[in-house]
């Protein structure tokens, strides 16, 4: 800054020091500034409250859609706004159908099922590895299903066979699945037909690991192929008109998925069929019949829980030599059944190819 400028500034300061500002000018400016500052604060507060109100409404809607309950939205001022939704009506529990229980009757238990099976088996062989399962499902409100399963192993000079019998009835409609539909041929056999009394019979000769057509999809899925895998598994399943389902199954092994014990199971299909349609299989029996069977060798000790439970049975009783079922002998035309429908696939007399 030059000397002239410095001198001018000094003169101006000296002149201004003698001026007296008008009364109220300073205080008025201060008051105006305070009012402007207050206005800005109010504007910012209102904007913030509006943003929060919108966000709160969005959150309430999302919450209300999620849990179905009432929601609350806080506004910038005033009482809390409450939005309610109508209460939801809980769904009534599904009622399970029950079976009609014949007067004085009870579901068959494994000991009685075993005593019904033994006379139908070939004589002179001692059953081993006998086990049973009670499938009856009962509560205070009724019986939902009734029945039992028993299995045993019979062995002759050709090797062991695992034989099992299942007799069941459920309040739901009986499963009437027939022969599986396959795109392609296999060495398994299946027949599905009805008897004159209206029963549906499904006979299968397969393997424990079922045969499957030789297709790229089946090979990719690791299926057994046209000749199956594991021991051969033959079965006859009868769905009677009264809803009782009888299944007799035999496997050429000591165990369901064990090593191969023989080429084919012990009983020919004609014998298996004759056993499955025998009138001896009953779901409802007298309480005395169950109690008598439990006390007659071979006996079984168990607790009736009316839920699936496994029972171990003794293995010291031989099958009587007079065990051939009526109508199953060769002199009677073994297991001959009149049919009302042509089987979908015939069963070879010698069983599936090895």
The two beta strands, 245-251 and 159-170, are antiparallel
Q: Copy the structure tokens of residue 239.
A: 């769905």
| pLDDT tens digit sequence for 181-213 | 777 788 899 999 999 999 999 999 999 999 888
**294 token code pair:** 């439990």
Same domain, 134 and 281: yes
For the segment 242-283, what is each residue's pLDDT rounded down to a tens digit?
A: 999 999 999 999 999 899 999 999 999 999 999 999 999 999
pLDDT at 175: 63
Number of domains making up the chain: 2
| Domain ranges, residue 129 | 105-176+186-332
Are residues 129 and 70 part of one domain?
no
If pLDDT is split at 50, 70 and 90, which confidence band does 294 have? confident
* Whole-prediction pTM: 0.64
* Alpha-carbon separation of residue 253 from 64, 114, 123, 263, 279 (angstroms): 61, 20, 20, 9, 28
Cβ neighbours of residue 321 closer than 8 Å, sequence gap 6 or more: 123, 124
Which residue matches tokens 């028993």? 150
Burial environment of residue 9 by CB neighbours within 10 A (0 to 12, 13 to 18, 19 or more): exposed
Residues 77 and 110 in one domain: no
Specify if 100 maps to a domain.
Answer: no
Check whether residue 65 and residue 207 sit in a common domain: no
Query: What is the length of the chain?
Result: 354
Higher pLDDT pick, 253 / 87:
253
């Amino acid at each position: 800054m030059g000397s002239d400028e410095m001198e001018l500034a000094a003169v101006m300061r000296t002149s201004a020091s003698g001026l007296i500002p008008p009364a109220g000018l300073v205080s008025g400016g201060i008051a105006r500034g305070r009012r402007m500052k207050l206005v800005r604060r109010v504007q910012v507060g209102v904007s913030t409250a509006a943003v929060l109100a919108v966000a709160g409404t969005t959150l309430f809607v999302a919450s209300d859609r999620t849990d179905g309950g009432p929601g609350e939205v806080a506004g910038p001022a005033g009482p809390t706004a409450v939005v309610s939704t109508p209460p939801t009506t809980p769904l009534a529990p599904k009622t399970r159908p029950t079976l009609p229980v014949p007067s004085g009757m009870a579901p068959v238990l494994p000991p009685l099922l075993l005593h019904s099976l033994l006379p139908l088996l070939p004589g002179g062989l001692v059953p081993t590895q006998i086990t049973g399962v009670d499938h009856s499902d009962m509560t205070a409100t009724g019986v939902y299903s009734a029945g039992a399963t028993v299995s045993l192993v019979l062995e002759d000079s050709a090797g062991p066979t695992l034989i099992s019998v299942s007799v069941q009835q459920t309040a739901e409609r009986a499963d009437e699945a027939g022969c599986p539909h396959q795109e392609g041929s296999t060495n398994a056999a299946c027949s599905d037909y009805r008897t004159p009394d209206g029963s549906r019979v499904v006979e299968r000769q397969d393997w424990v690991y079922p045969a499957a057509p030789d297709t790229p999809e089946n090979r990719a899925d690791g299926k057994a192929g046209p000749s199956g895998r594991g021991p051969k598994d033959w079965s006859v399943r009868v769905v009677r008109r009264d809803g009782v389902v009888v299944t007799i199954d035999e496997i050429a092994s000591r165990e369901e998925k064990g090593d191969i014990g023989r080429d084919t199971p012990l009983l020919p299909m004609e014998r298996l069929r004759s056993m499955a349609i025998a009138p001896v299989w009953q779901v409802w029996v007298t309480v005395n019949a169950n109690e008598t069977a439990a006390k007659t060798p071979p006996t079984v000790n168990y607790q009736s829980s009316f839920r699936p439970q496994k029972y171990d049975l003794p293995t010291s009783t031989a099958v009587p030599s007079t065990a051939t079922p009526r109508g199953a002998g060769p002199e009677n035309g073994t297991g001959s059944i009149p049919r009302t429908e042509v089987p979908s696939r015939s069963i070879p007399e010698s069983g599936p190819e090895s």
